Amino acid sequence: MNIERVEQLIRVLNDVEKQRKLFDIGTWSFEGPCGTSGCAIGWAARDEWHQKQGLHLEQVADPHGTFLPTFLPVYDGLQRGEAVEAYLEMDEVQTQRLFYRTTYGSGHVTARQVAERLEKLLEIERAKLPVPELEEV
């Protein structure tokens, strides 16, 4: 897992929550008459820090036929879930647990809920890291 990218994703999600941006875990990114909406990765791909890391959005034909701009994440030549896995250096099971609506039960999923799962994952990951040895003086 790329810890720095996950930390920055948490920052983006906190910003989404704070600024009351439209969050929809079921849509990568969408521009409609009510404004821009996106999931965690959709919002990250609109963030300058993540864009500098190579994550971006690519416009695609709207699968719902509404003719409104719809976007999907792209990273290192990969799209959708494969792009997310490569970008965050996670496997498919991890990304599904974090970013699939069905893993949150019923009801609306918020950016804060996704950020909380990411924070827990970071805690677990950091606990696995070896503690550096101190030099004797």
Quote the pLDDT of residue 63.
62
Quote the pLDDT of residue 128.
83
pLDDT at 131 over 70: no
pLDDT at 101 over 70: yes
pTM for this entry = 0.86
What percent of the chain has pLDDT above 70?
90
The answer to which of 52-56, 73-77, 130-134 has the lowest mean pLDDT is 130-134
The answer to which of 41-45, 66-70, 99-103, 104-108 has the lowest mean pLDDT is 66-70
Highest mean pLDDT among 22-36, 39-53, 100-114: 39-53
Closest-CA residue to 88 (of 59, 114, 61): 114
